[in-house]
Amino acid sequence: MKTILFPTDFSDTANNALEFAVSICKAGKASIQLFHVYGPPVIDPQMPPGMAAELMTDMENTSNEQLKMLSNALKAEGIAVKFESIPGFVASEIVEKADSIKADMIVMGTTGAAGLIGKLMGSNASTVVQESHCPVMLIPSDAEYRSFDHIAYASQFEADDLPALTDLLIIAKLFNSRIDIVKINTTQQIQPDIFADEPQIQRIIEEFGKDQFQFISHDDVSVIAGLDHYLTAQNTDLLVMTTRRRTFFEKILEPSVTRKMVLHSHLPMLIFHQH
């Protein structure tokens, strides 16, 4: 792992997420790119000519001052840091920035979906998750930092989990983590299981060995409820899921479990992408 992209709006939520990003940088000896996206100011029609440009300059200067303060604090901890602030739309700029610097991971805070601001933050987070080409770690505002000792990888065994598990093992080794692969069985699935579980489990064992993971099967009324109950009972530190690009009709007919968890979870989440 070489580069972590850390988008920030300088809020308490972002500052809380930064602690997680720093721990990953230290464990993986990675550098961090601090990134702030500011929107255009609200323009009053009566505003004198040139004032809008002046306001944008002020916003940029203020952003860079705050980024420099964060950068200096991180450098004092021995972390290599770069920073940048730009105008634009938050989610799309984050995705483009991650691509341009070839980020290995995006780490960002999210407030969930409570209230108007929460809905906007949740929307940005879920958009980044769906559009990003690299893994995304989301840190809820109420998540307290602790090491990733126990990781749960949620799978319905209906996609190829091998690429994500390969990358997850790299992260797990940094923290000496235990990994459970968790399958939630429910009668409320919109679609039945496509594949039997056992052949998929056997593929994973053949690829990685039988000692890398523990396989857990849990019955519940829904996938979301099942994950909630399991994660709480097992005192899990990190939830990992894989998402895939979905068609317009798939989004309408079968809302993504990953997106629901992004807006719902109070636990740090790491999302991989199936391309």
Residues 33-71 have pLDDT tens digits of 999 998 766 666 666 766 667 777 888 899 999 999 999
**147, 175 contact by CB (below 8 A):** yes
The pLDDT assigned to 41 comes to 61
Do 160 and 274 contact (CB within 8 A), yes or no?
yes
Give tens-digit pLDDT for 192-213: 454 568 888 999 999 999 899 9
Most confident of 91-95, 119-123, 157-161: 91-95
Beta carbons of 199 and 165 less than 8 angstroms apart = no
Q: Would you state the structure tokens that stand for residue 196, as one six-digit string?
A: 């039997």
Residue with tokens 């604090």: 73
Alpha-carbon distances of 147 from 19, 28, 151, rounded to whole Å: 11, 13, 10
How does residue 19 score in pLDDT terms, banded at 50, 70 and 90? Answer: very high
Buried b (16+ CB within 10 A) or exposed e, 137-157: bbbbbebeeeebebbbbbbbb
Give this prediction's pTM: 0.85
